[in-house]
Amino acid sequence: MSNSIDAKAVKDLRDMTGAGFMDCKAALTETKGNVEEAIDFLRKKGIAKASKKMDRKANEGFIGTYIHMDGKIGVLIELNCETDFVGRNEEFRGLAKDLAMHIAASNPRYIKPEDVPQSEIDKEREIYRDQMKESGKPANIVDKIVDGKISKYFEECCLLEQPFVKQPEKKVKDLIFEKIGKIGENIVVGSFSRIQIGNR
């Protein structure tokens, strides 16, 4: 299998993660060439250098904007990085604009699951449990099903968990992780605001 891994795919994975050539080749071999799974493989093994960058402070950045063509929806997003140099980088700014467009299309309410109020999560859990009352399933199975529904809820309302509109096969957090590996600095969504005409 390892002989069939394309050298360009290995190089691309190195660019995304900052991991070594042999580590990238091994990850692609293990995941049969699936790049998204290979990134997860490297992250789990702690090889991807981007993981280490995610703890660093990001106090610089860029305000990305997107106005929908009919002028009915507008988005501002604060995308943070570590240095002013990267804040002026075309690829970084392009990411900010892509994320603003994604927010216009997908309408997330929070950045990450940790931002969702516990009271809201508890309410959702209660609704899901009520839905399962008549199922007759054991409590431990019900718990697993409810956990799965909560994960799905986070995918609907949290920016980082949503499938990226331009590449639905990857989540927004994976897109950002790739850019961290490629650009070489931590990247954090600081805040965003989505305005829609008539949506009060």
Confidence band of 2 (pLDDT split at 50, 70, 90): very low
What is the amino acid identity at position 184?
G
Give the pLDDT confidence score for residue 63 in this predicted structure: 96
Region 171-179: mean pLDDT is: 90
Q: Which residues contact 51 (CB under 8 A, 6 or more apart)?
A: 43
Helix (H) or strand (E) holding 64: strand 60-67
Instruction: Choose the most confident range, by mean pLDDT, from 22-36, 75-89, 126-140.
Output: 75-89
Cα end-to-end span (Å), the chain: 56
Region 149-170: mean pLDDT is: 94
Angle ∠(9,167,180) on CA atoms, nearest 5: 60
What digits encode the pLDDT tens for the residues 27-84?
Answer: 899 888 888 888 888 877 665 556 666 667 778 999 999 998 789 999 999 999 999 9
Give the pLDDT confidence score for residue 34 in this predicted structure: 86
Q: Which residue in 94, 103, 96, 110 sits closest to 68, CA to CA?
A: 103
Give the pLDDT confidence score for residue 105 in this predicted structure: 96
**More confident of the two residues 94 and 47:** 94
Cα separation, 194 vs 187, whole angstroms: 20
Domains of the chain, first to last: 2-52 (1.10.8.10), 60-111+158-196 (3.30.479.20), 117-157 (1.10.286)
Q: Report the predicted TM-score, pTM, of the whole model to 2 decimal places.
A: 0.71
CA 111 from chain centre, in angstroms, equals 9
